[in-house]
Structure 1
Amino acid sequence: MKTQDLFSLLEQHKDKALLFEYAPNCFVGTNYHITEVKHITIDSVDCGAQTDSWKETIIQLWESPNDIENSKHMSVLKALGILKKVGQMKPYILNAEVKFEYSNSSFHTAQLFVNQSKIDDGKLIIQLGIEKTDCKAKDTCGIAEPAMEQETQDEPCCSPTGNCC
């Protein structure tokens, strides 16, 4: 999801509670805060020596131990207010991919993509998910697509005799 798409979604549902589902049936606690918004520029070189660059918006969610008794999720309106204030201080790149950074005591820190959203009983639920790492230079490295889908591999992706760096 692009940053602009997130803002449009939030604008359409200002009257709802905002929930984040970080894994199937696992929700960020009601005591969450938006603690940081990162405007990231990625400038990369893949294992096939190809360069790439792109922008990302990363919104960090944190469960506050001081608000553990909080029984209500943040409202979409409040979240939108926080995000708009950030945008006044540091403008967003609206076509940047948006991700949510989150962890808790049983879930490792991860940058999660927005898979989809849904409305359920007055709540806007943003469903998050991981994206597996992948070799961007399969042709250069001589990696066949089916070999990447196997659970285990006898040889590493980029062998010493391959064309990877």
Structure 2
Amino acid sequence: MNTQEFFEVLETHKNKSLLFEYAPNLLVGANYHITEVKHIAVDSVDCGARTDAWNETVVQLWESPKELGKRDYMTVFKALSIFKKVGTMKSYDLNAEVKFEYSNATFHTAQLFVNDFVIQENNLIIKLAIEKTDCKAKEACGVTDKKEVVASGEVCAPGSGCC
């Protein structure tokens, strides 16, 4: 989901509570805060020596240990006011993919993408998911199916142009 689409979902449901599901049936605690909004410009070179560039909006979620046991979630309205204030200070690339950075005592720090959202009662639940790493230069590496390479025992040799 890009940043514009995310903001549109929030605008449509601003009278609801905002919850984040970081893994199936696991919610970020009600004691979360939006601690940072990053406007990231990625400038990359993949393993096939191809360059690429894109922007991302990364929102950091943090659970305050001082508010353990809190039951009321942040409202969408409050989150929107945070995002609007950030936008007055640093402009958004509204086409940039929006991601969420999160961790807790049992879940490693990860950047999660928005997989979906649902409305349950008075809650807007943003469903997050992990994006697996992948070889972006499959053609240059001769990789047609990741499992096929692992199963056949092939290994990329130095200088082969492969990952």
Q: TM-score range by the shorter chain?
A: over 0.9
Q: Is the 8 A contact 2:48 2:161 kept in 1?
A: yes
Cα distance in structure 1, aligned partners of 2:99 and 2:147: 25
- Please tell me the root mean square deviation across aligned C-alpha atoms, in Å: 1.5
| Structure 1: runs of 5 or more not aligned | none
Q: Percent identity?
A: 62
**Structure 1 range deviating more: 86-95 or 136-145:** 136-145
Q: Per the alignment, in what secondary structure is the counterpart of residue 85 of structure 1?
A: helix
Q: Is the 8 A contact 1:2 1:96 kept in 2?
A: yes
Corresponding residue number in structure 1 for 2:130: 130
**Structure 1 range deviating more: 24-33 or 62-71:** 62-71
Deviation of residue 21 (structure 1)?
A: 0.2
Corresponding residue number in structure 2 for 1:155: 154
Deviation of residue 161 (structure 1)?
A: 5.7
C-alpha change, 1:15 and 1:151, in structure 2 (3 Å) is farther
Q: Is the 8 A contact 1:142 1:162 kept in 2?
A: no
| Structure 2: runs of 5 or more not aligned | none
Cα distance in structure 1, aligned partners of 2:33 and 2:97: 21
Q: TM-score with structure 2 length normalisation?
A: 0.94
Correspondence 1:57 to 2:67 = no
Cα distance in structure 1, aligned partners of 2:45 and 2:29: 37
Q: Deviations over 1:107-161 (max 9, x none)?
A: 000000000000001100000001111111111111122xx146954334x3336
How many residue pairs were aligned?
Answer: 162
Corresponding residue number in structure 2 for 1:41: 41
Q: Per the alignment, in what secondary structure is the counterpart of residue 91 of structure 2?
A: coil
Corresponding residue number in structure 1 for 2:162: 164
Corresponding residue number in structure 2 for 1:71: 71
C-alpha change, 1:32 and 1:3, in structure 2 (3 Å) is same
Deviation of residue 69 (structure 1)?
A: 3.0
Q: TM-score with structure 1 length normalisation?
A: 0.93
C-alpha change, 1:109 and 1:150, in structure 2 (3 Å) is farther
